Amino acid sequence: MHKLWVSAKKEFWLLSRDLGGLAVLFLMPLLLVITITLIQDNTFKTIQENKIPILLVDLDKGAVSDQVGNNLRESSLFEIISEENEERAQDLVQKGEYQLAIILPNNLTRDLHLKIDQNVSGILAKFGVEPEQEGEPVAIEKKEIRLYFDPATQQSFKSSVRNNIDKMISQIESKSIYSAFQEELGEDGNRPIFDTESFISFTEIVPNANKRAGIPNSTQHNIPAWTLFAIFFIILPLSINMVHEKNQGTFIRLRTQPIPYATVLGGKAFVFLVVSLIQFILMLLLGVYLFPLMGLPKLEVAGRIPLLMVVAFFAGLAAIGLGLLLGTIAKSQEQSAPFGATFVVILAAIGGVWVPVFAMPHFMQVLSKLSPMNWGLNAFYDVFLRNVGMGEILPEISALFLFFIATTALAILYNKRKNAL
């Protein structure tokens, strides 16, 4: 026990002498969480404040295209730049000067009204309100609104714009159909007889085990995800610390001393676990006290702190186990640093830190179950967002603990095999 205690003390001395390293350990994760939360929380605000300039080529020059243009302007997302020529618009988008060009085709208004009139007359004739037209109706060519996107535009932005324009056109079509009916029925166009407002609306309700009110905000999504990411990044300083020992020759000296490798690892695990818990506490303080001052949603931790600390403890252990294994196997910093950093990013990616697991392909969903970051993230979400108790997070924290045991045991076995006499 004395050897373990002194080993931990030595690790503490080493860490405390590297102030730059300590600053990186504690400040960089905070910076990461602040940056990500600011970006995610303010994305919509930013778009509103800084309108995205897009090109609108109105080849229709009719009521429908006017309405599309007005709706786009009113959406406050876009700054509409009118352009007369479709080819020039395409060229400007291709060069990346604009994210998007919307081309409203020739005769859009005329043909839409014609089509609606045809349909409405046909329906009314079926009800006997109007005489049936003799012969085939005039063929009207389908209209196509063309959207040119900058090749660098992200898919999510494209989908969002496409859906918005689609919804806008559907609303214009619906209103036109109602108007056509009103005209055909001979009613006064100034006194609407149909309510064209949306009849069906949406309400977001979060099922809550403890009946606590509130919808999770971006802080409550970001702090757990990126805290976990930061906790796992501890494998970098930990593995580098171990590689340094090999290069300095101190590890050679330790191998000639009557001290089990498990004790050497135990000292490191203890100190780095304390570091990861301090990191976590700083993240919580950030979310609770600093975020509101920055205009970000406050992190709600009331009544959850003990369980959060439990999850952070086991997530920290899992990360440390991985760091110990990497530090044992790596021969140089050139091996441990890039591998560690990339591996954490991969674990985060398959663990659902960036893209939710449910949105991944089936194979990746299966793979995500193997990522300790996924277990940790689920446990954090369980506590932060689902307000569950210890029983519900037991499977996840058990998995994290087993991962620590397995990786540490592997490190000890590897060292034993490598240095067997």
Contacts with other proteins by CB under 8 A lie at: 2-3, 6-7, 9-10, 13-14, 17-18, 248-250, 252-259, 419-421
Cα–Cα–Cα angle for 294, 300, 302, rounded to 5 degrees = 135
Torsion angles phi and psi, residue 103, rounded to 5: -110, 115
| Sequence-separated (6 or more) residues with CB below 8 Å from residue 326 | 235, 238, 239, 336, 339, 340, 343
How far, in Å, CA of 276 to CA of 34, rounded? 18
CB of 15 to other proteins, least distance (A): 10
DSSP 354: S
Torsion angles phi and psi, residue 53, rounded to 5: -75, 125
Closer by beta carbon to other proteins, 138 or else 421: 421
Element of type H or E holding 192: none
CB of 7 to other proteins, least distance (A): 8
Tokens representing residue 45 in the block: 């605000």
Nearest to 368 by CA among 386, 352, 354, 379: 352
How far, in Å, CA of 216 to CA of 327, rounded? 38
Closer by beta carbon to other proteins, 106 or else 263: 263
CB of 405 to other proteins, least distance (A): 24
SS (H, E, C) 403-415: HHHHHHHHHHHHH
**Helices and strands of the chain, counted as H and E runs:** 16, 4
CB of 4 to other proteins, least distance (A): 10
Tokens representing residue 36 in the block: 């990500």
Note the helical H segments in 294-389: 305-329, 333-351, 362-368, 372-384
Closer by beta carbon to other proteins, 14 or else 124: 14
How far, in Å, CA of 421 to CA of 416, rounded? 9
Closer by beta carbon to other proteins, 14 or else 388: 14
Closer by beta carbon to other proteins, 82 or else 247: 247
Closer by beta carbon to other proteins, 327 or else 376: 327
Longest Cα separation, the chain:
105
CB of 328 to other proteins, least distance (A): 17
Closer by beta carbon to other proteins, 40 or else 333: 333
CB of 26 to other proteins, least distance (A): 18
How far, in Å, CA of 343 to CA of 370, rounded? 13
Q: Are 308 and 294 in contact (CB under 8 A)?
A: no
Closer by beta carbon to other proteins, 122 or else 260: 260
How far, in Å, CA of 410 to CA of 405, rounded? 8
Closer by beta carbon to other proteins, 131 or else 249: 249
Closer by beta carbon to other proteins, 254 or else 274: 254
CB of 14 to other proteins, least distance (A): 6
Closer by beta carbon to other proteins, 212 or else 255: 255
CB of 18 to other proteins, least distance (A): 7
Buried (b) or exposed (e) across 221-236, using 16+ Cβ within 10 A?
bbbbbbbbbbbbbbbb
Tokens representing residue 299 in the block: 């992190």
CB of 6 to other proteins, least distance (A): 4
Torsion angles phi and psi, residue 296, rounded to 5: -100, 155
Specify the residue for token string 């090999």. 246
